[in-house]
Structure 1
Amino acid sequence: MSATAPDLSTVPGELGWNLAMVLRGYQARFESAIGDAPGGVRGFQILSAVVHYDLPNQQALGAHLAIDRTVLTYVLDGLADAGLIERIPAPRDRRARKVVATGEGRAQLARLEELVAAAEAALLAGFPADDGAALRALLARLAQAVHTADPGADPCEAIAPC
């Protein structure tokens, strides 16, 4: 008589273990892909947000990425020193600063995005393309729901280092 393996996908608590395993695998591939890019993971996230979103100022950037303002300032300083971003007066409030990518910052992001895309493809290589796309869409919806429920939550509290 052969026993069948139980379907653990429905066991309470397994979702957390599954998410943790996926996150660890993703984080390792992501960090390897970006290498020694200025600011590391946070630098990539900031540069990506600056290029892909029209955030009105530095405070909005920090809120969007759920990054503490002291950490944000530190990473922004490094990105500015590397010539990847500039802080300019915000159009709607000259007292605030808007973060914009330089030409070199945009070029750096394009290079890094190719490497990250390859790392993500490697992580999802075991799935048919439609399943990978469905997983991405579901995770995006779940992440947005979690962020909406707790907009100040720092995703780096769940993992280290971030």
Structure 2
Amino acid sequence: MTSFAATRAHDRADPHVDASGIDWGSGGIETQFGWSIQAVYQGFVRTAQTAVADVPGGPRGYQVLVAITTEEASSQLALAQRLGIDKTQMTYVIDALAAGGHVERQPHPRDRRIRQVVATDAGRALLATARVALGEVEDGLMRDLAPDERVALRRLLARVALSVGEPAGPAAEHADAERLEQPVAAPHRSRRPARRTPRDGEPS
């Protein structure tokens, strides 16, 4: 048996080594959560930029379109807090989307001082195209994972992301005193807008 084959045989017998050859008992860099998150993020950014190149505002513009088409209508400030985008930067993103005819600022039905950001038909069409392109990017990044593993990864990451903005333990005592340079997305679960039942005589 060659030394390489012997090494592979040893790896298969070691419960700490998985199918990809990572030795989880070594404490090596590839076993570190921070390194993995950074590597995946960098790989995603490199390829995702092209997928959303036609969306005004790039990745941020894409996130805005996703939020305003899948959740209740909200103001520009609420969107900035929801997505963890600086409110000044959010103004530029919304301006770019509006200039392209993809969103509109409309008065709130109960408080006309508030402007809600609403997607246009053109914005919805652009989002549909970008979703397909971004889905191909994500499939490429997760090409070594089985379909059920991809679903599991998405769900686990979403759960971690939702808890990021929720201080726990000793950190909670100092959360108000410390301020991050970049805003953190609000831990908030998406809810599809409730369908309103039309009254008698109203068009459905």
TM range (shorter): 0.7 to 0.9
Deviation at 1:110, TM superposition (A): 0.5
Could you say what secondary structure the match of 1:113 adopts?
helix
Does the C-alpha gap of structure 1 residues 11 and 155 become closer, same or farther in structure 2, counting only changes over 3 Å? farther
Q: Equivalents in 2 of 1:10, 1:58: separation in Å?
A: 44
Matched to 2:131, the amino acid is E
Residue aligning to 1:154: 183
Could you say what secondary structure the match of 2:113 adopts?
strand
Does the C-alpha gap of structure 1 residues 76 and 128 become closer, same or farther in structure 2, counting only changes over 3 Å? same
Residue aligning to 2:119: 101
More helix by share: 1
Runs of 4+ in 1 over 6 A off after TM superposition: none
Q: Contact conserved, 1:58 with 1:96, CA < 8 A, in 2?
A: no
Q: Which has the larger radius of gyration?
A: 2
1:52-90 Cα distance to aligned partner (Å, 9 max, x none): 111432221111101111111111111000000000011
The yes-or-no answer on 1:138 pairing with 2:156 is yes
The yes-or-no answer on 1:90 pairing with 2:108 is yes
Matched to 1:59, the amino acid is L
Could you say what secondary structure the match of 2:117 adopts?
strand
Q: Contact conserved, 1:34 with 1:41, CA < 8 A, in 2?
A: yes
**More displaced 10-residue stretch of structure 1: 106-115 or 29-38:** 29-38
Could you say what secondary structure the match of 1:70 adopts?
helix
Identity %: 38
Q: Contact conserved, 1:55 with 1:61, CA < 8 A, in 2?
A: no
User: Equivalences for 1:35-50 in 2 at 5 Å?
Assistant: 35-50=53-68
Residue aligning to 2:42: 24
Q: Contact conserved, 2:165 with 2:184, CA < 8 A, in 1?
A: no
The yes-or-no answer on 1:7 pairing with 2:36 is no
Which 5+ residue runs of structure 2 have no aligned equivalent? 12-21, 168-174, 186-204
Q: Equivalents in 1 of 2:78, 2:95: separation in Å?
A: 17
Q: Equivalents in 1 of 2:36, 2:103: separation in Å?
A: 36
- Give the number of equivalent residue pairs: 155
Deviation at 1:147, TM superposition (A): 2.7
1:9-39 Cα distance to aligned partner (Å, 9 max, x none): 8669811011100111111121121124211
Does the C-alpha gap of structure 1 residues 123 and 8 become closer, same or farther in structure 2, counting only changes over 3 Å? farther
Q: What TM-score do the two structures reach when normalised by structure 1?
A: 0.84
**More displaced 10-residue stretch of structure 1: 32-41 or 133-142:** 32-41
